[in-house]
A and B are shown apart, each in its own frame.
Chain A
């Protein structure tokens, strides 16, 4: 494109001079690109994140979709057994020789009495059922926000693993790999706790039922938050989106909610037994959205009160219309 009358100041440009200038321009472009590339390469990676990309596996047991049970009353261990029985027994989900990962909520270094973490009795009962089903190995993990060793110790989870014969897997720096969710807005190039998932056949989520100051409720979907590494607290500003994306990471084998005592106020940390209500309920489901839709009612709220449930359901992570599902119910004691 030329502009009439406009000329460029040049010497009597020879072919050689033009080639020299073009080469200089090329070197300038290459130098700028190299600086950019170097800058990019110098981007500091956290020690906790390996460069390998992680993809979640398939953990759902065949022909178990849409199973949902609710057991009220009875003691915690008994209700766990009955809830499992109603969805087909642990044998329907865990086969002999399989490796099972139990994702607990060990977020805080608080005692079991405050109900902020997975109760050791609940965990112990589920480990026993996995072992009875023939699991070759039962692993237990979480990436707590407080010091992991202290969290596992003070919550009673470490002792429960020891008593029941499960292996506690710590979230060490090398256990994280980067994960990008297809179509995800927040989970892009984010470190996730991949190490404990390596080689496992089944993943079961075990969560308490809690009020949550930001999200409204912390249930089975929010429990996957503990699989994230990095500076994940930034997600609190967009809590419903992050829980929706957690719901889409993978389909678990099973989730179980412990509403023996639900934290109905001052969550997610609580701090007092006065924050708990004896709701005496255990929920088991292969559909985490359905489990949470029922679990939130124990807090006196509706599934519609949690925007992330509608978002997760709309994106195919599970069903909110539990009234149309075949819910197996039982009352104990």
Chain B
């Protein structure tokens, strides 16, 4: 028979209980204190959270292979998604929301005249489509196009171009330095890998009304609606002026219909008033939003429409043209 333990059960006394509760309470307070402190880390104080210095890049061939007419003012610098705002501050969100990979920059000066300098920005995006999104979002109207086959333009002192998944900017110190920047851009664009962007939605815009160089791509939250992503926009001629049209493809017709309904509900919830569509425009709704006409069309797996048409007549005319084009392009 095993020896009986000497331990016996004994009711806890009142002092023991008080001390035990005190100890438990102290431990709970310590745990709560630590949890509170750690749940509110001060980003300014997190080790390594302060922005690391930009990394000098050794192996970006296209920024190291410098044409003879230019000399670098310093090494290239590279920024990633965590550090890109150190270079472009509040504009970083535009790139991050579209699919940003990296930014490499380098300042160059003319070899003959050092006062002629410019800075090269090469944004690497996740895809040619993402590069097109940031390129089109910043397009300057009335600019001079770069000679074909380059896709880009010169606006004042800046050169802006698109090549595959790269969006390129060259910012010259003054107007006199712009030609040097343009010459450098031509050499740089040749070195960047070419890759065609998948932008098939632009075929949905009626070609006879489409304003040249007006096609753009909004990666996220088009027109303030957070579900309206990957939306292609363009200006269409209508009446005496122009209106903005949009097209977004979805995986299935059901998905497209649900998105169109959600967008219409969003417009109505934000003060819009429903307007009937003219006869013959199937799957189309109109919304008067504080005097501007919004049109939403669901056709096949596409959501399309007109955004902020100041003149309702022009807006409906453009919507009819857009609807007709969708009818031609999509299977019945």
Contact = CB atoms under 8 A, between A and B. Distances in A.
Interface of A: 1-2, 6-13, 18, 22, 25-26, 28-29, 32-33, 36, 39-40, 43-46, 48-49, 107-111, 113-114, 145-146, 154, 188-191, 212-215, 218, 229-234, 236, 239, 265-269, 271-275
Interface stretch (B36-44, B230-238, B245-253, B283-291): B36-44
Contact of B155 (A18, A190, A272): A272
Contacts of B172: 111
Nearest to A33: B30
Interface stretch (B5-13, B199-207, B219-227, B299-307): B5-13
B16 interface: yes
Interface stretch (B61-69, B90-98, B323-331): B90-98
A214 B90 contact: yes
A9 B7 contact: yes
Contact of B158 (A9, A10, A32, A271): A271
A7 B9 contact: yes
Given A145-B87, A231-B50, A274-B140, 10 more contacts: A8-B10, A36-B33, A45-B45, A48-B50, A154-B173, A213-B90, A213-B91, A232-B44, A233-B92, A269-B91
A254 B310 CA distance: 40
Nearest to A43: B45
B85 interface: yes
A15 B289 CA distance: 81
A36 B30 contact: yes
B49 interface: yes
Given A11-B6, A46-B44, A32 B30 contact: yes
Interface residue tally on B, bucketed by range:
35 or more
B9 A10 contact: yes
B59 interface: no
Interface stretch (B19-27, B182-190, B209-217, B312-320): B19-27
B177 to A, nearest CB: 9
B195 interface: no
A216 B19 CA distance: 59
Contacts of B33: 36
A147 to B, nearest CB: 9
B34 A215 contact: no
B37 A271 contact: no
B270 interface: no
Contacts of A269: 88-89, 91
Contact of A7 (B11, B19, B50, B143): B11
Given A28-B23, A113-B173, A231 B90 contact: no
Contact of B11 (A1, A2, A189, A239): A2
B17 A1 contact: yes
A295 B186 CA distance: 39
